[in-house]
Amino acid sequence: MKINRDSKVVVLTGAGISAESGIKTFRDADGLWENHAIEEVATPYAWQANPQLVWQFYQARRRQLLEVEPNMAHQALVKLEEFLGDNFLLITQNVDDLHGRAGSKNLIHMHGELRVLRCESCNEVFDYMEPEHLGADYVACENCASERLRPHIVWFHEMPLKMPEIYAAVEDCDIFITIGTSGHVYPAAGLIDIAKQSGALCIGVNLDHPLNLAQHDDFLLGRAGEILPKLVAEMID
Ligand code: APR
Ligand code: ZN
């Protein structure tokens, strides 16, 4: 399907787009994420009850970013953005930095970012990826007296970031593409319903059927790294 430069395209990505870069998805291994139940490490209660466990878990995820590279799927989305300019928005549920490193610019991290730490006292955020930020010790806030920054991650029971901006773009788009997301987690999984109600063509790319399969007009089953370069070429070449 060919598009022109006036087409408004919104893309929603999930863990599946980074799988081929070597980052594990959340729900592919019996609901375990790197051997932890998600609730054990990804809730504000876990951070309160067992901050050491949560901190060590996220420090390992943060260090992993130094060992992985963007793949063909991330790169294909950069190509699509180069063609569409401001008519392109990438919304990712991923907390890795692979979209940004590939070169995506118009990018919203709705579930936060591993690179970033946040102060719960003064709310300041810090992009901290130097060796002194990646060890076992907590990292202190430079802005106030707090000794312990937290991961800038949207945990379960917390509000995703930038939702007004996301809803506005999804309501206004012509084409909505979901990539590598299982459709389990709301509000991300429901964005397709808004896109559809607003008349957008909804395309899905995933290795297996997502829960919201039925809402897609067109669904491509397979690996994002193989499908995306072809899909983008069809759209813009
Ligand atoms: N190409 C395309 N899809 C893939 C690939 C691949 N190479 N590998 C795996 N997938 C698919 C899986 O089949 C699965 O449907 O990616 C999907 C990943 O689903 P989840 O692991 O549930 O990840 P996601 O949908 O991003 O999870 C949403 O849940 O815990 C949270 O906050 C976390 O942002 C995350 C949210
Ligand atoms: Zn502070």
Q: Quote the pLDDT of residue 159.
A: 97
In terms of Cβ atoms closer than 10 Å to its own Cβ (0-12, 13-18, 19+), residue 5 is: exposed
CA atoms within 13 Å, Cβ hemisphere of 172: 12
Cα 123 to ligand 2 centre (Å): 6
For the beta carbon of residue 101, count every other beta carbon within 10 angstroms. 14
* Cβ of residue 39 lying under 6 Å from some atom of ligand 1: no
Whose Cα sits closest to atom 9 in ligand 1? Answer: 16
- pTM of the full predicted structure? 0.97
For this structure, is 111 an active site residue? yes
24 pocket-lining for ligand 1 (C-beta < 6 Å): no
Q: pLDDT tens-digit profile of 155-205?
A: 999 999 999 999 999 999 999 999 999 999 999 999 999 999 999 999 999
How many Å apart are CA 20 and CA 71, to the nearest integer? 7
pLDDT digits (tens, 9 = 90+) for 105-154: 999 999 999 999 999 999 999 999 999 999 999 999 999 999 999 999 99
Among 111, 133, 209, 216, the one annotated catalytic: 111
Neighbours of 125 (CB within 10 A): 15
Among protein residues, the one with the nearest Cα to ligand 1's atom 35 is: 93
Nearest-angstrom CA–CA distance, 163 and 169: 10
What's the average model confidence in pLDDT over 47-59?
96
Ligand 1 atom nearest to CA at 38? 30
Tokens of 22: 């070597």
The bound ligand whose nearest atom lies closest to the alpha carbon of 160 is: 1
Query: Would you say the CB of residue 15 lies under 6 angstroms from ligand 1?
Result: yes
Q: Do 192 and 78 meet the contact criterion of CB atoms below 8 Å apart?
A: no
Question: What domains are there in the chain, each with its CATH number?
Answer: 1-23+71-111+160-237 (3.40.50.1220), 24-67+115-153 (3.30.1600.10)
| pLDDT score of 35 | 79
Higher pLDDT, 237 or 131: 131
Out of 25, 39, 154, give the residue to mutate to test ligand 1, the one with the largest number of ligand atoms within 8 Å of its CB. Answer: 25
Q: Give 134-166 as a DSSP string.
A: SSSS----SSSS-S--EEEE--TTSPPS-HHHH
184 touches 17 (CB < 8 A) = no
Bridge partners of 175, per DSSP, are 9, 201
107 lines ligand 1 (CB under 6 A): no
